Structure 1
């Protein structure tokens, strides 16, 4: 159950940050964002703030920001339709009752002759026979009421498709970008709180009852040689110590400018992967808690994780790629449990790595992903006009179907690896 809660919280944060990036930049571009959703499927929580409905859905496998004009509008009112009009104080139409007009006795029922809810914002319609054809002006934030559910109209200047290719691209790119920002911030905080490991030939924190502590050594001691072999880095130092399991070794070091030495009795530890026994003295690497060092650590960790992911993706072209290199929901659940068992810091580090992964995968130029949408926007910038929305929507639909199929295949592979 602890693993399940950890997965839900971790995915919730990663998806929320990703989608918030889309939402923030889209709103700054003047795009009407109808819904900000975490998860897919049935809604389990809904609240509305300003123009946007915020929802949490049952299946925590992603999320979305529904921008007006990104897809064709679902509700279309055509000539001949009977609708109800509810007016604002300024005389403009504030609500358009599409159906269930009997539940709105205050609404003026009219028969539509002409309607424009995108550019000129007016309705020409017939009311009573005595009134004839009338023109009604529509408010910019007028709601369409369908099955008693309001949805704000989207004038053309508030729609995604009306924006320049640059603004569209920024709104789409902002999601993956925020995943990189989140990972960077997390790594920096880990560096500040837990410290950034330093590759120095020195002792960091000494474990209680460790051989080094029993030999009188202290945190901060700078090691100059072990068994007569000079060492200049943490890596060199540990390499020498590991070669002497269950042995007494001579350690020369400096403390406060004074040259000292000590005899330390090592203990052994077996490396599971190779079965090899190595020597240990019970010390951790020295760490740096400075802000600047932590910022450098955050940047280097993001670059390192990104490089590993691109190296893995590159195996697709070299023929060395295997499904064992990727994980679906089952694999991520299993790895999250392992990370959680190692402590909160390890779990947060894993979440940061997963955030980088999410950012990169979303930028792949595949339909249904942010990278696929950026590809269409780039094509629009070169061509001078956008691809037909219905054709693009169909391509993204098939892309989503293939992506879902891939998730099923990877999930089955995870089940075979972990449980069968």
Structure 2
């Protein structure tokens, strides 16, 4: 039986995920700017027309926009998308100009921009550290406990006791490493390196595709080798060990994101699998229905996603700004304003196109296009 959370639960859970994460992201920019003496004109959660807000004693307008899909900090003197000095900026009094973003050195600007994604990763690490302390660190060696009949593992002759050392040329240290790799390589032929006793051997296996369906009716296409693991070992994690475990898990999640993005770019994974805000809202409601643990873990995943996506070297994103600052640091002078202007226009066009694509995918996942096709037919 398919279960679906109500629309109100979905909307509430989405706002409770996105709102705080956007707030801490922008707060990272804001605090870093304050440290370097940059005045903030506005701090907004959401885009578009202001629906509520106030102005503090420093002159910063704190407000909520009607479209809760992001936010921004507008620093003093930030008069164009590329944050380049302009005639208006040069006309400012010297004391006011010193408090603007453009007046800061390239490394200070880079820290201010990088602070947003950095805080997102910190939030995720704190959450994952809490999970590690609460539930321990599950460790299972990559040793074959058995193979499912007819599975790829059985077909290539893996036997109980074999230790998998690498998949696709990538070293494997734990059973979880093996599962993470296999899940995102459905249908691909991979090299399996293993050791039996003291004898190393190599086999080529075609990863099976397993279509799974959860209780909400969502279908997932995941890879499967059919290796059955042994008994997991749960190791207690102390307060001092928790950050290290959390950082390692965050790194593993980011690694999967990088590889999955590479698969989409190279065509090995369909762009139809990309989701947007509507998918996040849907999953938020579902995870809230599953319980607090699942919901908080989703917050950590979304926070990592926000940090990762914002660091991509795409103009209009934080990573695009950092890319230009890196060029400026090497050249010892900024990239020409007109070049940055066109780059940011292109970046905006690319982001808008991506938003249209993922929204189209989201509506398709909700069954809209299938229902319309049925009505037309």
Output the TM-score relative to the length of structure 1.
0.59
Give the Å deviation of 1:357: 1.1
- Residues 394, 54 of structure 1: alpha-carbon distance in 2 compared, 3 angstrom cutoff: farther
Aligned to 1:118: 93
Q: Which region of structure 1 is more displaced relative to structure 2, 318-327 or 38-47?
A: 318-327
More strand as a share of residues:
1
**Counterpart Cα distance in 2 of 1:387 and 1:77:** 17
Give the corresponding residue for 2:300.
352
1:341-388 CA distance string (max 9 Å, x none) = 221111111111111111111111111111111122222223333245
Residues 368, 285 of structure 1: alpha-carbon distance in 2 compared, 3 angstrom cutoff:
same
Change (3 A) 1:376 1:49: same
Is the 1:40–1:61 Cα contact (8 Å) retained in structure 2? yes
- 3-state SS of the aligned residue for 2:38? coil
Which residue of structure 1 aligns with residue 126 of structure 2?
Answer: 185
C-alpha distance in 2, partners of 1:390/1:160?
19
Distance 1:48 1:393, change over 3 A: farther
2: distance between equivalents of 1:338 and 1:317? 29
- Structure number having the greater helix percentage: 2
Instruction: Map 1:254-403 to 2 at 5 A.
Output: 286=234, 288=236, 290-389=238-337, 392-403=340-351
Query: Which residue of structure 1 lines up, in the alignment, with residue 181 of structure 2?
Result: none
For the residue of structure 2 that corresponds to 1:36, the secondary structure is strand
Partners of 1:324 and 1:288 in 2: CA distance: 40
Indicate the residue corresponding to 1:50 in structure 2: 57
Consecutive unaligned residues of structure 1, counting only runs of 5 or more, are 79-114, 120-139, 141-154, 201-228, 236-270, 275-282
Measured in 1, the distance between the counterparts of 2:57 and 2:338 equals 29
SS of residue paired to 2:316? coil
Q: How does 1:128-207 map to 2 (within 5 A)?
A: 155-199=96-140
Report the equivalent of 2:170: none
Deviation at 1:60, TM superposition (A): 0.9
C-alpha displacement of 1:156: 1.6
Report matched runs for 1:203-242 at 5 Å. none
3-state SS of paired residue (2:365): helix
From the superposition, tell whether residues 349 and 18 of structure 1 become closer, same or farther in structure 2 (CA, over 3 Å). same
Kindly provide the CA deviation profile for residues 259-302 of structure 1, in whole angstroms up to 9, marking residues without a partner as x.
xxxxxxxxxxxx8689xxxxxxxx99746252234323211210
Residue of structure 1 equivalent to 2:357: 409
- Tell me if the contact between 1:36 and 1:66 (Cα under 8 Å) persists in the aligned partners: yes
Number of residues of Structure 1 aligned to a counterpart in Structure 2: 282
Q: Is the 8 Å Cα contact of residues 339 and 346 (structure 1) preserved in structure 2?
A: yes
**1:42 offset after TM fit, Å?**
1.2
Shift of 1:407: 0.7
Give the RMSD, CA atoms, in angstroms: 3.6
* Residue aligned with 1:327, SS: coil
CA deviation string 1:1-54 (max 9, x = no partner):
112111101101111111111111111111111111111011122122232221
Which of structures 1 and 2 has the bigger CA Rg? Answer: 1
